[in-house]
Amino acid sequence: MKPFFALAVATLSCAVNSPAFSDPLRNRTSAYEVELLVDGRAVSTYWHEGETFALGQLGERYTIRVHNRSGRRIEAVVSVDGRDVIDGRPGDFENKRGYLVPAWGSVDIEGWRTSAVEAAAFRFSSVADSYAAQTGTARNVGVIGVAIFPERVVPPPPPVYEQPTYRDQWNEDKSEEGYGGLGRSEHGRAAEPAPAPRTFGSTTTPDDLPRHADAMRHKRPGLGTEYGEARYAPIRQVEFVRARPSRPTAVLGLRYNDRQGLLALGIDVDRHPHYYSDEDLRATANPFPRSWAPPPSGWRR
């Protein structure tokens, strides 16, 4: 049975201390990770100048998988090419809502949401055919971002101890009704569908580039993500309260392009498919890589 992905809904407060957009984009940090899947397999990724780059191919349909390896539920606000994957408008993790990822679990996001039961597939395309270019601007084509918000945990009230009376000691049939756990409420309102792509030349949105610069999207090489075919991807909305309403614990991400685009950046996709520079290795070194001490070669008990 296909899982139902939970779309978190709650009221957000005003924004504070947002991370800079110039921060390096990496696909993993701490207990969280994002990866792209094609035909169920992770696409090749490369470290370059402190960031993660993914190798795509024109026409491939991909899925975004968000991993949560922590013991607390998280909300993942996801954008592709600078566009929110739920409503298709400019990405904004402070005021947009995202997908709920269970503790020690993961969620697959297959496309731009068109309704509560369907999504338009993510498919690598030319820049001119990308959903971002068709709905406004191609300025941010080639990047995927995931903002992570852990759930607020309300500590239980301290226990109240009372001196038992004579009647309490002998009342063995005391009813336990009313001592059950409190469940969270759920909301059935569907997510607002993403706007359909429009043709080039129609009225632009405030986030668009100047007209002469945006027209270059038809000449830009490399990959974008188009508004693909409909996919069955049901969701339901649940109550979720962020621990910090407008400040994510982590912002994951990666940049993607085709082979020629990565080669142009100086990434040797042919000879070093998983190359890590010394700076990257040191920046991601784990002080506790194993829980047991393996015996050396030739050791006898």
User: Which of 38, 39, 67 lies closest to 55, judged by CA?
Assistant: 38
Residue 270 pLDDT: 81
Q: Exposed (0-12), middle (13-18) or buried (19+): which is 132, by Cβ within 10 Å?
A: buried
Q: What is the pTM of this model?
A: 0.69
Which two structure tokens, joined as six digits, stand for 277?
A: 């520079």
| Structural domain contains residue 217 | yes
Residue 271 pLDDT: 65
| Structural domain contains residue 170 | no
Residue 295 pLDDT: 65
Q: With H, G, I as helix, E, B as strand and everything else as coil, classify residue 7.
A: strand
Dihedral angle over CA of 234, 237, 243, 246, nearest 10: 80
Considering 183-187, 204-208, 245-249, the range whose residues carry the highest mean pLDDT is: 245-249
Structural domain of 229: 5-12+22-154+183-282
* 10-58: pLDDT as tens digits: 333 333 334 445 578 999 988 999 999 999 999 999 999 899 999 999 9
Number of domains in the chain: 1
Residue 254 pLDDT: 94
Phi, psi dihedrals of residue 134, rounded to the nearest 5°: -75, -20
| Structural domain contains residue 175 | no
pLDDT > 60? residue 60: yes
- Identify whether the C-beta of residue 76 lies closer than 8 Å to the C-beta of residue 83: no
Average pLDDT of the chain?
A: 76
Q: How confident is the model at residue 202 (pLDDT cuts 50, 70, 90)?
A: very low
| Structural domain contains residue 295 | no
